[in-house]
Amino acid sequence: MSTPIPPPMPPPLPSTKDEGTILAGFLLGWAALVVGSMACGMFVGMLSFIASPATAPLFVLASLMPLAAVFGLLIWFARQGKSKAVRGVLYAFLSMIGLLVLLVATCFALLAGTNFH
């Protein structure tokens, strides 16, 4: 007596899990930086009307708002399981650091050519 041959297994379905896109993460990372910087500027502008020694920590906290927005975006995408979007936000963060390094190097190069005594 022979045993019947089972039918072949169907091919696996492609993953329907939404991982986001790198471009969306990159653009949202830069948008968080720009919007966070504008919000920081408005907050510091309003705070400058009541400036006192007690408000100095608020100026420091306000300057960290854009960075907090980018890291908040990273955490939000990571919790949703959108790994490509997380990678895009990381690329945006690294490009921000690269731009900062270039700007600082340019300022030092300009100051190196001056003769201020």
Average pLDDT, the chain: 87
Share of the chain above pLDDT 70, in %: 94
Give per-residue pLDDT as tens, 53-109: 777 788 888 888 899 999 999 999 999 989 999 999 999 999 999 999 999 999 988
> Burial letters for 62-75: b for 16+ Cβ neighbours within 10 Å, e otherwise?
beebbeebbeebbe
Total Cβ atoms within 10 A of residue 47: 15
Predicted confidence (pLDDT) at residue 14 exceeds the cutoff of 90:
no
The H or E element containing residue 57 is helix 56-63
